[in-house]
Amino acid sequence: MCGRFTLTWDTWRRVAEALGVDDENEVGASYRRRFNIAPTDPHFIVISEFEQRKARPAHWGLVNRWARDNSRASQCINAKAETLEQRASFREAFQQRRCVIPADGYYEWRGPKNRRQPQWIHDPEGGLLLFAGLYEAWYPARNFAEVTFTIVTCATNATIASIHDRMPVILDERAAADWMNPYEKEPLSLKRLLVPAPEDLLFIQPASPLVNSVKNDGPELLQAKPEGFHLTS
């Protein structure tokens, strides 16, 4: 499961350089630090096109090209790695439209329902995380296409198991290149990449309960107890 994530790097140029994409594009023009990316929010994906990486604006929550509206987008934010080729919502995208979603962390929650404590799960050295994803383009209006994406999840590793039984698939550079390859003739062979991240890749840090509201989006969300904030039951 991945229901919120972050990309807190300060400049688009830095992100673009790490991803190997052009730093002058539509994504760069609107880029800002994000501390609470939620379902249906705008973000961006990276694809491989003519052996070059391209960043494209996209909304989180996959909407199939044949859909009449985006009412099910929030139900398609994650896709289980085990059943990509079986689910009608994801089958064609798995075969033809694979991408990575750049992030630098994601949230999960632990504790009782009335005092749920968000946890920020991230690379302790602040590196980028490349989530495996699928994308589609649908048409909310005639001659206007909107790109949407879903994050592929797999069984968790031992580090995350105490919080949740699922985690996003996190690809290294080589695996990301293989996953995005549009010329792959046997997509099923790529399922070998959809495995839990190494146990030492991620660090779990308590975050602020302010994460619970999608209206909040600032650096204070990464603080476990921001000044002046009190939990109420």
Of the candidates 187, 230, 24, the one whose C-alpha atom is nearest the C-alpha of residue 97 is: 187
Q: Is 49 left (phi over 0), alpha (psi -120 to 50) or beta?
A: beta
Q: Which amino acid is at 180?
A: M
136 classed as catalytic: no
For tokens 């009782």, what's the residue? 112
**On the CB side of 201, how many CA atoms lie within 13 Å of its CA?**
20
154 classed as catalytic: no
What is the Cα Rg of the chain in Å?
17
Instruction: Report whether 186 contacts 228 (CB < 8 A).
Output: no
Instruction: Given the residues 76, 99, 108, 154, select the one marked as catalytic.
Output: 108
Give the list of residues 6+ apart from residue 24 with CB closer than 8 angstroms, or none. Answer: none
Of the candidates 49, 130, 59, the one whose C-alpha atom is nearest the C-alpha of residue 97 is: 49
Q: How far apart are the first and last CA of the chain?
A: 25
Instruction: Given the residues 2, 76, 99, 154, select the one marked as catalytic.
Output: 2
User: Active-site residues: which are they?
Assistant: 2, 108
